[in-house]
């Protein structure tokens, strides 16, 4: 093979609690994460050198890019004396709390693993991913999972009952994760999600029981009027629940049917930077083409 193409899904947080601080200074969390069908498309081409392109994206392609970090970590771990020309066609909005950068890293790891026949297990890829970012192991696993510790300790859950999401990205520059946690440290949160109850509802396939447990402790500190406005819009279109995902700024609503989610996403477009309807997906990055 000279080229593989990988699609990597976005994630949503169905519940997020901040539980404390780890010894390394990072916040510890307890959260439910869900992969959704909004896909980054990543082309990985065999090369003796290395290059990264992100056409039509404002994301920088420098050394700090997660795709570059993933490539370096992969070649270091495998000892392969090789390279790659990587092109990332971004669909997931940046600074949205949807793990776009982590999806890119996960897609590169899966792509390089396939391109060079390294045959690293998912567990081995997750260990590499954890050195890149806390969301990368989940971005590799996908599906529905409970994440604890600094976010890298994962417990797979049953797939969600049949549902769809409407997702909207507020206008503006998005939210910085460090800034979101700084605000939380200053202001706290009026809600404390019951993660045990949320997971029990998911395991039982009960969306009605899950909906009231869908809360995010970082949302109160976000202080963006667009968050409330988009939540009200989704609620008015019949969402079982609505909330901000991750550290923000994207907002989503949970719907029982595709038609409802698509209608709500269409209604959100005039007041958002972007809006989409997407289903939950059961896995992580997938190789869609080999040449």
72-94 pLDDT tens trace: 999 999 999 999 999 999 999 99
Question: Could you tell me the two tokens for 216?
Answer: 């995010």
Identify the band that residue 23 occupies on the pLDDT scale cut at 50, 70 and 90: confident
User: Helix, strand or coil for residue 125?
Assistant: helix
What pTM was estimated for this model as a whole?
0.96
Question: What is the sign of the dihedral through the CA atoms of 153, 155, 159 and 160?
Answer: negative
Q: What is the pLDDT of residue 174?
A: 81
Identify the band that residue 124 occupies on the pLDDT scale cut at 50, 70 and 90: very high
Overall average pLDDT of the 261-282 stretch = 98
Is pLDDT of 224 > 90?
Answer: no
Q: What is the pLDDT of residue 100?
A: 97
Q: What is the pLDDT of residue 173?
A: 75
Q: What is the pLDDT of residue 195?
A: 98
Overall average pLDDT of the 126-138 stretch = 97
Is pLDDT of 139 > 80?
Answer: yes
Q: What is the pLDDT of residue 221?
A: 87
Identify the band that residue 151 occupies on the pLDDT scale cut at 50, 70 and 90: very high
Question: Could you tell me the two tokens for 119?
Answer: 């045959």
Residues 6+ apart with CB under 8 A from 252: 12, 165, 166, 167, 168, 234, 242, 243, 245
Between helix 66-78 and helix 100-115 the angle, nearest 10°, is 30
Q: What is the pLDDT of residue 216?
A: 98
Catalytic residue among 11, 69, 90, 91: 11
Q: What is the pLDDT of residue 230?
A: 97
Overall average pLDDT of the 206-222 stretch = 96
Overall average pLDDT of the 31-52 stretch = 98
Identify the band that residue 96 occupies on the pLDDT scale cut at 50, 70 and 90: very high
Identify the band that residue 178 occupies on the pLDDT scale cut at 50, 70 and 90: confident
Q: What is the pLDDT of residue 22?
A: 86
Q: What is the pLDDT of residue 206?
A: 98
Q: Which long-range contacts (CB under 8 A, 24 or more apart) does 55-60 make?
A: 55/87, 55/89, 56/89, 56/90, 57/88, 57/90, 57/94, 58/94, 59/90, 59/94, 59/101
Overall average pLDDT of the 165-193 stretch = 91
Overall average pLDDT of the 270-286 stretch = 97
Overall average pLDDT of the 236-255 stretch = 97
Q: Among this protein's residues, is 135 annotated catalytic?
A: yes
Is pLDDT of 222 > 90?
Answer: no
Is pLDDT of 234 > 90?
Answer: yes
pLDDT averaged over every residue in the chain = 96
Residues 6+ apart with CB under 8 A from 233: 168, 264, 267, 268, 271
Is pLDDT of 126 > 80?
Answer: yes
Catalytic residue among 69, 91, 104, 135: 135
Q: What is the pLDDT of residue 141?
A: 98
């Amino acid at each position: 093979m000279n080229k593989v193409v990988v699609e990597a899904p976005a994630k949503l947080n169905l519940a997020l609690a901040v539980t404390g601080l780890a010894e390394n200074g990072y916040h510890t969390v307890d959260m439910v994460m869900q992969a959704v069908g909004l896909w980054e498309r990543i082309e990985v081409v065999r090369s003796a050198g290395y290059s990264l392109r992100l056409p039509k994206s404002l994301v920088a392609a420098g050394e700090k890019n997660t795709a570059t970090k993933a490539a370096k970590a992969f070649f270091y771990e495998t000892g392969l004396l090789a390279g790659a020309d990587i092109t990332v066609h971004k669909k997931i909005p940046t600074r949205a709390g949807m793990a776009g950068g982590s999806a890119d890293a996960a897609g590169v790891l899966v792509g390089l693993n396939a391109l060079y026949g390294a045959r690293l297990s998912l567990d081995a890829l997750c260990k590499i991913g954890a050195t890149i970012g806390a969301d990368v192991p989940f971005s590799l696993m996908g599906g529905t999972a409970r994440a604890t510790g600094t976010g890298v300790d994962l417990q797979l859950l049953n797939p969600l009952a049949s549902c769809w999401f409407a997702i909207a990205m507020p206008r503006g520059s998005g939210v910085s994760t460090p800034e979101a946690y700084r605000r939380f440290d200053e202001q706290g949160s009026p809600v404390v999600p019951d993660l045990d109850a949320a997971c029990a509802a998911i395991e039982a396939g009960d969306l009605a029981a899950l909906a009231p447990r869908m809360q995010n402790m970082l949302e109160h500190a976000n202080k963006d009027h667009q968050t409330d406005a988009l939540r009200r819009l989704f609620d008015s279109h019949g969402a079982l629940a609505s909330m901000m995902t991750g550290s923000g700024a994207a907002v989503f609503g949970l719907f029982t049917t595709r038609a409802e989610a698509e209608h709500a996403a269409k209604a959100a477009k005039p007041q958002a930077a972007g809006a989409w309807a997407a289903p939950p997906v059961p896995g992580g990055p997938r190789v869609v083409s080999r040449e």
